[in-house]
Structure 1
Amino acid sequence: MLNISKDSLSDKVSLEQYKSHDIAFHKRHFRAFNKFLYGFAILAVIILFLPWTQNVTGNGFVTTLTPDQRPQTVQSQIPGRIEKWYVREGDFVNAGDTILRISEIKTEYQDPLLVERTQQQADAKQGSAGSYRTKIQALTNQISALQQELQLKLEQGRNKVEQSKYKVRADSTDLIAIRNNFEIAQRQYDRVVELIQDGLKSRVDVEDKRTKQQEMQAKVIAQENKLLASRNDLINAQVELNRLRASYADKIAKAQSDRATAEGSLFQAQADVAKLENQTSSYRIRNSLYYVLAPQNGYINKAIKGGIGETFKEGEKLVGIMPADYDLAVETFVEPLDLPLIHLGEEVRVQFDGWPAIFFSGWPNASFGTYGGKVVAVETFITPENGKFRVLIAPDPQDHEWPENLRVGSGAYTIALLEDVPIWYEIWRQLNGFPPNYYQPDDKSDSKDKK
């Protein structure tokens, strides 16, 4: 009854005559209800003081423990065109197995004899380098011969100079002797002239002395000419010696210049040989890249480029592969407010998608269907996509093993277990929006105390 009208039916109609009134309003029902309320209140108070495990939850997915065990794509280092597939999606391949064959699309590499012709060019350059080596050796021998010949010529020139010096010295001595004889003849002539005036000598004696004096004078002039010629010969010998030095220096310098030119040509040929050999090796390696090989043992997930004759660029994804051997882990994300509560080695409970579980976040011992894990890595930089920090969790070796059929990429729900607090405290914290209690694990606190 809404009791909207001022006329109340309860005053006009009596319910006591009905049997249901006696059942509903019997005093024993009030006593039972009161006992229930008292018991519920006492139970609620007891529950408020039960322990509750604080936790940090996060959503993530299953991944692998190390980067080389995660799903990857296979790329080609060169652009090309797909010619043939050797595998199907889902096939198992070993490391080094051929996945597909590609062909060349760049015109400068399409010559089928490119490697052989480049090798021929390298061999020709190698032969040219050998010719330059022979020329350098010949020029070196020529320079050595010129230097030896120069030494002989210089020795001959020096000997000639010495001979000229000796001749000049001898002619000088002879000139002095002849001049002395001329002076003697001159004095004898003068005395004869004086004696003839005194009447002591005849004119014949005068003529004889004059003739002798003139002969000695002629000899003096002839010896002076001879001495002058000897000096000229000495000068010519010295000039010839200098000319030999200059002439052979020019010849040797020209031979050295030719040798330097040959050495430069040799270095250029060697550089060309190295360049061509490098190109040959690059072409051989490029030919080996026409077959795309499996980098490791695994399963072919998906052919990203599937058509025959389809072209692609270098570094473009061709096929996805999942490694066969891997160690499972869970990649989860936590709020920045909860990051200080996550430590390496922290115990975590994980619930996987597809595996039924009954989970009580505050009573982990009463949970069923969850698996144990430990934190092995905490990212130090926030993930821009979701504004959270990434945490990597590995299986706990002391807990039971994770499901065998668990696959990489499956969803996971993680709960990091923190301190045990009363339920009333947790309710109060949740109502006020406070973070969980900040704490340090026991091993870290002990290590700090030791320090």
Structure 2
Amino acid sequence: MLNISNSPLHGKVDMSRFKASRRVFHRRHYKYFNRFLLAFAGIGLIVLFLPWTQNIRGRGFLTTLTPEQRPQTIQSPIPGRIERWYVREGDYVEAGDTILFVSEVKNEYFDPLLLTRTQQQIDAKSRAVSSYQQKVLALDSQVGALINERELKLEQARNKLIQANLKVQSDSIDLEAAKTQITIAQRQYDRTALLQEEGLKAVTDVEEKRLKLQESQAKLISQENKLYAAKNEVINAKVEIGRIQAEYTDKISKARSDRATAESSQFDSEAQVTKLENEYSNYERRTDLYYIRAPRSGYINKALQGGVGETFKEGDELVGIMPAKVDLAVESFVDPLDLPLVHRGEKVRIQFDGWPVIIFSGWPNVSYGTYGGTIVAVETYISPNGKYRILIAPDPDDHPWPEDLRVGSGAQTIALLNDVPIWFELWRQLNGFPPNYYQPEDNMAQTKKK
């Protein structure tokens, strides 16, 4: 056919007698083939100038928009033993429904009458507090009575002191009168004795005056004794005042000390009552924790602790639950090289695993089976897989996502960037250049305004 042999076949064999050779060896097919190549080259050239949307592809999976809607496990805050299951895997439960019942494994909580006995202790201590309160009131009354009695006693002693002082004054006046009388008696005696010597008075008159003089002297001594006795009574009255003050100060101090002791015992009993009430509340709350309840409405995924009679520690995972109503989102990952091109609020096309799709990554308008999304969060720290995590929510301006999607299923994401010619994208891909750096339209508008 190519005529490269020294013995050409068509020189020996007549090929024109074969139908296939007649169709092949004529010259007309070259014209059609050249037309085809020319048309193909023209179409290819036109295609090279068609617009192409640069994009960043990522791989992720479905999750929820808020952390509280994600699958979770239910733990028990106390250690215990499984006694009874009220649900099966796959059951739907409302928030607050009982999932299982557990019992105690700590011996300090084994008493079935623990709450009753604790309440009895609280009542007993409360009565003790009331008793101490009454004792404090009684001691307050006693202190008041002692203060009143002390004032009366002191007033009585002061009156005695006043009386003693008045008696001292009276005896002092009587002593001065006695001194005056003895002076007069001495003068009368001397005058009578002188007159007797002159013969003008009788001896009896002299003896009478001597007797009066001696009586005045005796009266003076007696009056001095009374004065000293009155002064002694003044001293005794002052001593009595000091004794009364000391005695009642001691009694009042003792009563106040007893009151402080009773008040201290009252406060101690009140502290014990508060402690017992706290323990009662803890016991009551612990009793309520025996029933493991659903924190929210959802489906029971898997029982992580099985059987009856199995023990577990506090914080151990017991059962997994998936919330029933969730706001779906896609958790995707992009390379660090593409991270500067990703911004919040940008549009993203999503392909869900298990859903048929015809996709042209650079022509989103002719892609079918993809769904719209909007970037709501961009992680600022790299993930363990060496990429950055982005969170994509449904696009409210696009058609809704399928209702049968489940959290955890896979998804592929395509973040749309600038529109460039196809020849430029081919040149960029062949040279390994990154997509064109750009800013979203809102940021660019703000930059222009500034």
Q: Same fold (TM over 0.5)?
A: yes
Offset at residue 29 of structure 1 (A): 4.6
* Partner residue in 2 for 1:445: 444
**In the TM superposition, what is the alpha-carbon distance from 1:137 to its structure 2 partner?**
1.3
Q: Which residue of 1 aligns with 2:434?
A: 435
Alignment partners' CA distance in 2, 1:192 and 1:432: 167
Alignment of 1:1-12 (within 5 A): 10=4, 12=6
Q: Which residue of 1 aligns with 2:409?
A: 410
Output aligned runs, 1:48-447, within 5 Å. Answer: 48-383=48-383, 385-447=384-446
> CA–CA distance in 2 between the matches of 1:190 and 1:272?
96
After TM superposition, give the deviation of residue 156 of structure 1 in Å: 0.8
Q: Is the 8 A contact 1:15 1:21 kept in 2?
A: no
Q: Where does the alignment leave 5 or more consecutive residues of structure 1 unmatched? A: 2-8
SS in 2 for 1:95: coil
Over residues 143-185 of structure 1, what are the superposed CA-to-partner deviations in whole Å (9 max), with x where a residue is unaligned? 1111111111111111111111111111111111211222222
CA distance in 2: counterparts of 1:371 and 1:140, whole angstroms: 84
Give the C-alpha shift of residue 449 in structure 1. Answer: 3.9
SS in 2 for 1:362: coil
Q: Distance between the aligned counterparts of 2:243 and 2:194, measured in 1? A: 58
Which whole-Å CA distance do the structure 1 matches of 2:146 and 2:181 have between them? 51
For 2:188 and 2:31, the matched residues in 1 are separated by 192
> When the two structures are superposed, what TM-score results if normalisation uses the length of structure 1?
0.93
2:362 maps to a residue whose letter is G
Matches of 1:42 and 1:188 in 2, distance apart? 179
The verdict on how the C-alpha distance between 1:11 and 1:93 changes in structure 2, with shifts beyond 3 A counting, is closer
The separation in 2 between residues aligned to 1:394 and 1:354, in whole angstroms, is 19
How far apart are 1:198 and its partner, in Å?
4.3
Equivalents in 2 of 1:445, 1:194: separation in Å?
151
Q: How far is the alpha carbon of 1:191 from its aligned partner?
A: 3.2
Matched letter for residue 6 of structure 2: K
Question: Displacement, 1:223?
Answer: 1.0
1:221-244 Cα offsets, whole Å, 9 max, x none, are: 111111111111111111111110
Cα distance per residue 1:184-203 (max 9 Å; x no partner): 22233333344444444443
> Which residue identity is paired with 1:311?
T
Task: Give 1:5's aligned residue.
Answer: none
Q: Using the alignment, how far apart are the partners of 1:78 and 1:302 within structure 2? A: 21
* Aligned-residue RMSD, C-alpha: 2.0
1:28 shift after superposition: 4.5
1:26-64 C-alpha deviation (Å, 9 max, x unpaired)? 654554444444433333332222111111221111111
Matched position secondary structure for 1:302: strand
Cα separation, 1, equivalents of 2:375 and 2:284: 47
Shift in Å at residue 336 of structure 1?
Answer: 2.2
Cα deviation, residue 116, structure 1: 0.4
User: 1:13 is aligned with what amino acid?
Assistant: S
Residue identity opposite 2:416 in structure 1: L
List per-residue Cα deviations over 1:242-293 (Å, max 9, x = no partner).
1101101100100111111111111111111111111111111111111111
Q: Which residue does 1:41 correspond to in 2?
A: 41
TM-score (norm 2): 0.93
Q: Which AA in structure 2 matches 1:431?
A: L
Task: Tell me which amino acid in the other structure corresponds to 1:263.
Answer: E
Farther off after superposition, 18-27 or 260-269 = 18-27
Aligned residues: 443
Quick one: which amino acid aligns to residue 7 of structure 2?
V
What CA distance in whole angstroms lies between the structure 2 residues aligned with 1:139 and 1:199? 87
Change (3 A) 1:26 1:196: farther
Task: Name the SS for the 1:53 alignment partner.
Answer: strand
CA contact (8 A) 1:16 1:22 kept: no
| Displacement after TM superposition at 1:433 (Å) | 2.9
Q: Which amino acid aligns with 2:393?
A: A
Unaligned ranges ≥5, structure 2: none
Are the counterparts in 2 of residues 56 and 415 from structure 1 also a CA contact under 8 Å?
A: yes
